Structure 1
Amino acid sequence: MDIAVCDDNLSDREIIRQQLSIYFSDRFIEYNIDSYENGVNLIYSIEDGEYYDIIFLDMYMDKLNGIQVAEKLRNMNYKGKIIFLTATSKYAVESYDVEASGYLVKPHDIDKISMVLDRVLSNYENVHTYQIKKRNSVIQVLYSEIEYIESSNSKCILHRTDGNKYTIYKKLNDIEEEINHRAFLRCHQSYLVNMNKIESVENDFTMKSGDVVPIRTRNLNEIKKEYYNYIEYRGNIAGTTKRLKVFYDKVGGDFEVVKRRLIDEKYVVRFVQCFKNDTAFNELKKALNEELYEKAYLCAHTLKGSSVSLDFGKLYKASSALTETLYNINHNGEDCDKILIDKQFGEVAKEYKNVINSMQIIEED
């Protein structure tokens, strides 16, 4: 499955890419994700023959907004799915005019993304399943629903995530060969485990269900390394809970909230650090200096989106106020109050500097 993520905000692009990777990996759907920082480049790619099954499209972007990009794509006879990403529900009705399949309001949340994709892909057939013969019928079990399989004498028992167990009259070697997927690890002579369903590892694997799956003792370090490599493959990096809590206290966020939304602390670290490379603040400053208020509005809105996605509470409050002022100037015909704009930008600059400086807390050795 080919996916495009089009968003002018680097942090948001990385967050949605990671959450999509987890979604497709957990469901054993082969996928490829391409990123675009503006709609113009996306349109050019599709004009050149590129095709995407699903396009995730930010609503607020420079040059062309999400609705304009979608209209051009539909006029080019693009028939794939379009799912909008935005910080406001303002354009929800308009999205139906371009046959949008979904409308996700930021901050990005794996549960919300999963709910939309489960609906969009309800008839998607390229999903891995394992077939179990039972009398005169065949039970199809999704790979994503297999927790682990254990060998028991002359048969095997498949443990499903819903608690059901199925007897398979085959050798574990044969089942492993049939499944043949990177997510399944032969951790013991008698066990084949789905690494996506592992909660923790020490001398054994503890599964999300609470079951304990043994690891072959003589290959303990090797097997644990293989598991850690798989976790890294899915995008995890190191992080520290204590430092993240201190960081979020300083920037006015709630670490526990953002951790639940972004899955765990490892991803939080990655996306917070990614924010340093975002250009929205510098572009906002430049646009205000040049009195380009439409451009400044888009930049402020982008900064606001990053702040809500990463739960930078103080920066979100400051950028929201400036965004509202610039919106009223550009779209409601209000007079430009430069004193107010300077004051509000000063608050944004202060809180932006606070976020950047506070990152040292999670970057210490």
Structure 2
Amino acid sequence: MKILLCEDNQLELEEAKRCIQEATEDYQTPVKLHCFQEVESCLGYLENNVPDLAFIDIFMGEESGLHIARAIREKSRQAQIVFLTGSNEFAVESYDVEALDYVLKPPTPDRIRRTFEKYLQKYNSVEKFIQVKWRREELKIKESSILYIKTTGNETSFYTDNGVVSVYYPLKEIEKQLSPEWFLRLRKGLITSMDYIETMDTGCCTLKNGEEYSLSRKDKAAIRKKYFDYQFSKIEGR
């Protein structure tokens, strides 16, 4: 389990780090804790990594922890965000990232433990895996880690936030397992998480890695409608 901690005050960072380490000792889940004091260095880490759980100082001097929270939410629906705050009054803007919890400073191990239990309850209730058979073995790929899936010839590749997994398995069988409210078929041989779409125009879609793909001519109206309905539902908080 990857935990991110971003706090600009050195003393408060060390205290939060101690509380997180103490709170997670009782669980059987291996934990890797990544700590940052600066927004930019944290954003740099997030370019190639997605935490399972993130503790973020909501106010970091002149910077806002919301930059970090939004960067996480753009890459993952399942990553859970916890704001560390010195006040009971939370910024209205923070609600759009769907934070798991708000923890008043200074945190305590017991308070962090309650947050961790809340995370585990949510994780166990919503996590889903895509199963494919490969070389007489059954592979399980965490659905929330999937960015997009592409078929080349007979090979189907899962592009995930942990790397690429390639198998010889029909895309249509994989599509049956995917949550239709989160994934979109752009054209033959290409399915993407709607959160991994950067832009979409009349006939073309650009993914967050910069790759551009034309939309299926036959289905482009339905594709665009589904994508923009999804975006509006996020704005409205549904």
Query: What TM-score do you get using the length of structure 2 for normalisation?
Result: 0.50
Structure with greater proportional strand content: 2
Query: What TM-score do you get using the length of structure 1 for normalisation?
Result: 0.34
Larger Rg: 1
